[in-house]
Structure 1
């Protein structure tokens, strides 16, 4: 082992990064001969750019951006899962009580090219609202979106836990968990440049193996997990306890870093439907086009877990 440094990109300090924070704090990366440094970008687009230009080695972020890159002939690939099932809720201003009340309102999303935009389109079409019946604006990732709701510059947004619970206690309307409408969606994944990955296979496998151990630890140690999260998130611990239950009970975060084919396929279908002019995804394109599980297979063996790459 070479004691080498890996730069790992995160979007924001969010609860679903606990497996990686835990692997760091418990010394699991160090035991694998790695010095892992996290870089927080504050947005999906800058993280993806950093991954493409080699500023970071691993990016835990948007599967949709990987899909876009692959369709453009790029080298990005998903190699493991992070959030395979959504823990988001639809949060709206207090006077908004139904989805139908969003007609003419302003909806905040992380980025127009990312998942929450597609999810809103899908859900609102179920109650007869179509693009043009409401306004969509980029409002940043979850913490900034919470601030935008508080200042009433947006009327609704999807908020993952624990910020959905913060919003409820602040008097906002929770229109329901997104999983009620869309049970499977690949929200975040572990992404790499495949050229870099091929040249650094040993270090990448060791990173994934330690991350799997961090995820296993997350599932078994609620109070310690809350303490790990509290060190990086400016959120009361009672909300973090609820976030732990949401992520673990529904296997939103995979204990073995597996990807879920149906979750990726949902993301693909939304891209086909919502953005046909900017990203062409053929109707017969399979999730396999965008993933490379060879490193996860090796890492699961190192970590001593039963192999489950894509389910």
Structure 2
């Protein structure tokens, strides 16, 4: 080989090495895929990034063979995760953190969405949050997220217990409270996107964004169990990297993301799909996916004060090393073409 040929060969070797170092989490040639099961704890537009990653086969290039399941309810989901029936769970962190603090054999490893997606919707005669005085708020059950949030909001507004009645109608989802509002069983309730878009079409008013309360809320987050952390840490790292790439993919491919959400939620109208995209791909997104530690601490303390059993310290409920490695390795910088945009929790 002449001098020019050797130089060219060395150049290509350097180029290949640069590509490999840019994404150190990709599957190696000839490597057998790692089978894992992932579940969501509900059907929600807030799980947009996972739906999109699965539909567009992002996990495959990371050497993961993903089986997707739906397990309804936080308690059942945590039990399945702890017993290794699931290797990963994607769920609202606020619903899972109390179980982790109580001793569940699992940890939170990434938080793609941080904040509160809930909005207050009301009948057309209610235009401001202050107009709720003397009215009825509809919730499914005591202790649920909307029930908790309305009590916090009442305190912020200096409402007494007699200023706003809370009517619990039962059920397990937002459809029940939404229909109850349409049937005039109350004056206001809370929903998440894309139901806010439907509310506007039905002549209801969106009167408050609950994220404005600035509570220590963490929304869609990724959890795994102690067994996988111990036996297959590379699978945990790769799954975390794939979810970080999903955030980038959703941002750059909005139509594909909306198609994935539309399929799961059986939605076709463009307004509802755009509302979901705006909430979950823009408003709440945490591109670094690191778990916001201060919010975990505050959430556990709030659970303690509410009477929940707390057996673990906050730092025993999460592991940020996998999310932090994405930045240390240069993966995020390469993915975003420089400094990662957006908030840093």
Assess same fold via TM > 0.5: yes
Match of 1:292 among 316, 319, 335: 319
Match of 2:196 among 146, 161, 164: 164
Runs of 4+ in 1 over 6 A off after TM superposition: none
Q: 1:71 to 1:85 in 2, by over 3 A?
A: closer
Query: C-alpha separation between the residues in 2 aligned to 1:262 and 1:147?
Result: 37
Tell me if 1:209 matches 2:241: yes
Whether the 8 Å CA contact 2:116–2:211 is kept in 1: the answer is yes
Q: Give the CA deviation at 1:168.
A: 2.1
Deviations 1:81-137 (A, max 9, x none): 03202232112344544545265634315x655544432221121123366853363
**Which protein is bigger by CA-based radius of gyration?**
2
Whether the 8 Å CA contact 1:115–1:267 is kept in 2: the answer is no
Query: C-alpha separation between the residues in 1 aligned to 2:79 and 2:188?
Result: 28
The equivalent of 1:108 in structure 2 is: 139
Structure 1 segments unaligned to the other structure (5+ residues): none
Of residues 210-219 and 186-195 in structure 1, the stretch that sits farther from structure 2 once superposed is 186-195
Whether the 8 Å CA contact 1:78–1:292 is kept in 2: the answer is yes
Tell me if 1:141 matches 2:173: yes
Structure 2 segments unaligned to the other structure (5+ residues): 1-30, 334-338
Whether the 8 Å CA contact 2:112–2:247 is kept in 1: the answer is no
The equivalent of 2:88 in structure 1 is: 58
Query: C-alpha separation between the residues in 2 aligned to 1:207 and 1:58?
Result: 9
Q: Give the CA deviation at 1:184.
A: 5.0
Query: C-alpha separation between the residues in 1 aligned to 2:181 and 2:206?
Result: 13
Tell me if 1:259 matches 2:291: yes
The equivalent of 1:249 in structure 2 is: 282
- Please tell me the root mean square deviation across aligned C-alpha atoms, in Å: 3.2
The equivalent of 2:120 in structure 1 is: 90
The equivalent of 2:332 in structure 1 is: 305
Q: Which secondary structure state, in structure 1, belongs to the residue aligned with residue 322 of structure 2?
A: helix
Whether the 8 Å CA contact 1:108–1:154 is kept in 2: the answer is no
Whether the 8 Å CA contact 1:19–1:214 is kept in 2: the answer is yes
Q: Give the CA deviation at 1:164.
A: 1.3
Q: 1:117 to 1:45 in 2, by over 3 A?
A: farther
Q: Give the CA deviation at 1:13.
A: 3.1
Tell me if 1:175 matches 2:207: yes
Query: C-alpha separation between the residues in 1 aligned to 2:213 and 2:95?
Result: 23
Q: Give the CA deviation at 1:208.
A: 1.5
Q: 1:227 to 1:302 in 2, by over 3 A?
A: farther
Q: Give the CA deviation at 1:231.
A: 2.1
Query: C-alpha separation between the residues in 2 aligned to 1:228 and 1:219?
Result: 13
Q: How many residues align?
A: 303
Query: C-alpha separation between the residues in 1 aligned to 2:189 and 2:125?
Result: 14
Q: 1:303 to 1:194 in 2, by over 3 A?
A: farther
Match of 2:48 among 15, 18, 24: 18
Q: Give the CA deviation at 1:148.
A: 4.4
Q: Which secondary structure state, in structure 1, belongs to the residue aligned with residue 265 of structure 2?
A: coil
Query: C-alpha separation between the residues in 2 aligned to 1:50 and 1:155?
Result: 38
Deviations 1:178-207 (A, max 9, x none): 122226521232122223332221222211
Q: Please report the TM-score for the alignment, with normalisation by the length of structure 2.
A: 0.75
